[in-house]
Amino acid sequence: MSSATSLNLFRFSDPKIKTLHLTWFAFFLTFAVWFAHAPLLSSIQETLDLTDAQVRALLILNVAMTIPARIIVGMLVDKLGPRLIYSALLVISAFLCIGFAFANTYTSLAIFRFLLGFVGAGFVIGIRLVSEWFPAHQVGTAEGIYGGWGNFGSAAAAMTLPALALAFGGDDGWRYAIALVGILCGIYGLVFYKLARNTPKGSIYFKPKKSGAMLVSSWGALWALILMNIPMYLALGLLAWRLAPGGVNLLSESTMYVFWAILLVVFIYHTWQTWSINAEHLREGVPELEKFSFKQVAILNIAYFATFGSELAVVSMLPLYFLQTFEGLNPVTAGLLASGFAFMNLVSRPMGGWFSDRYGRRRTLIIMISGLAVGYFMMGLIDSNWWILVAVLVTMACSFFVQAGEGAVFAMIPLIKRSMTGQIAGMAGAYGNVGAVVYLTVLSFVSYSVFFYVIAASALIGLVAVFFMDNPKGHITEVMPDGTVHTIEVGHK
């Protein structure tokens, strides 16, 4: 590694390295909580006598709440700072996790699973925090380590929770295993609040001029922002449809229509708020120093739809996929094999960030999205006749490109507009969840092979979009309320 982009991760006396370790472990716990159910689905299904359709509905529910949560949390982070928001999220999620662990009906199980999508917003918080502590030539690598090591929480859950459930024993072993993760999450929320800081000593925490909506720099960007909000509402509407009588019958048809009506009202209000806040901002005239390219945000949203959206969907279904595809596997072994996909996060996401720092943001994204399209096509070819070892290796190779692509996306996001990094990360993150809802809905209608082919085909749209992305260069500026101008280097590659 170049000395310009390498980090000494064992130099704990360095406050920024200490902050990085504190932050990735917070994210690790959020992912362990978020996907604690995945390797234990067969036990949950047996205990509560669930149908396959109900299990698939849980998978969709698990990623739905994260769509609005990431937008809201992104705004809160920019306004209140990551230290407070991350601590609060960890503690609240602990109670939701324990509630899910001891749910006794499918309805209560589904409600807690839906609410636990809230924990997925934790990612956005750390993106802003890490960007405050690392310079442009290292931020991609640091964000990659944060995202990759944190994402490993789902793999850690897949590798350990089935064995932990067996160790607890009995029909309720899975409950105690999931509850234990929740307890650890709550304790760490208090630790994080005590030890973490929003910025290095003497640094300024830049806040957006107004809250309630993302501020853009032109009327064209305002229309684009409104259009980019639509898929998030459509994804939630799609979820309600899948939970209605036409799907798993968790919601009545009338409840589905009420939910759609509420979504429409919220969308109209959100659009009006976005328009009114930005119209006033644009009529006043946006100084050249405060402008940024919304095109970059839109392209990264699309790229994250294909990368993180597919990872969320695949991590949710992979243990069950291996269990049903290869005869003779038990849930523990299937969980271990499936963990290979998320296991790659340890190296692949940091590598995506490092490649971006070293060789250019746009070039890296093009390579990674091309690789994931090929990888998912290969996964679509897997069947029961394959050697399990080869299937796992193909899965891990695909996951390298998926997660390195995620690292490349978030190597770029902190370099667009520092004061709105939380909001930009929140929107991109929400698009990842939109992708997950879309892909998991597709899975509820088609075979596993077709599911993987659909992801491969949709990734090509992301690839086309990335060709229109600009590499960041020079500096971005932030203007303080007193008129003081601060410049932040974003690199030249």
Q: Give the DSSP H/E element, type plus range, for residue 379.
A: helix 361-380
Structure token digits, residue 29: 């716990």
Query: Tens digit of pLDDT for each residue in 345-369?
Result: 788 989 998 988 888 889 999 999 9
Which pTM does this prediction carry? 0.83
Q: What is the band of 219 on the pLDDT scale with cuts at 50, 70, 90? A: very high
Structure token digits, residue 401: 């490109």
pLDDT, position 484:
66
Lowest-pLDDT range of 115-129, 203-217, 266-280, 291-305 = 203-217
Q: How many CB atoms lie within 10 A of CB 227?
A: 10
Q: Do the bridges between strand 474-479 and strand 485-491 make them parallel or antiparallel, or are there none, so unpaired? A: antiparallel
For 7, list phi and psi in degrees, rounded to 5. Answer: -130, 140
Integer Cα distance of 71 and 305 in angstroms = 15
For 22, list phi and psi in degrees, rounded to 5. Answer: -60, -40
Q: 491 by DSSP, 3-state: which?
A: strand
Which residue is associated with the tokens 């919304």?
Answer: 294
Query: Tens digit of pLDDT for each residue in 388-443?
Result: 889 999 999 999 999 999 999 988 898 888 788 888 988 998 899 899 889 988 88
DSSP 478: E
Query: Tens digit of pLDDT for each residue in 2-56?
Result: 444 567 788 888 899 999 999 999 999 999 999 898 888 888 998 988 888 788 7
Q: 231 by DSSP, 3-state: which?
A: helix
- In degrees, to the nearest 5, what angle opens at C-alpha 119 toward C-alphas 116 and 122? 170
DSSP 10: T
Structure token digits, residue 212: 């309630």
pLDDT, position 451:
95
pLDDT above 80: residue 72:
yes
| Mean pLDDT score of the chain | 87
pLDDT above 50: residue 283:
yes
pLDDT above 70: residue 154:
yes
Span 141-151, average pLDDT: 88
For residue 377, the one-letter residue type is F
Q: What is the band of 493 on the pLDDT scale with cuts at 50, 70, 90? A: very low
Which residue is associated with the tokens 């998991």?
Answer: 440
pLDDT above 70: residue 293:
yes
Q: Which residues contact 257 (CB under 8 A, 6 or more apart)?
A: none
Span 160-188, average pLDDT: 92
Integer Cα distance of 406 and 16 in angstroms = 22
Dihedral sign, Cα of residue 168, residue 172, residue 178, residue 180:
negative
Span 451-461, average pLDDT: 94
Span 458-470, average pLDDT: 91
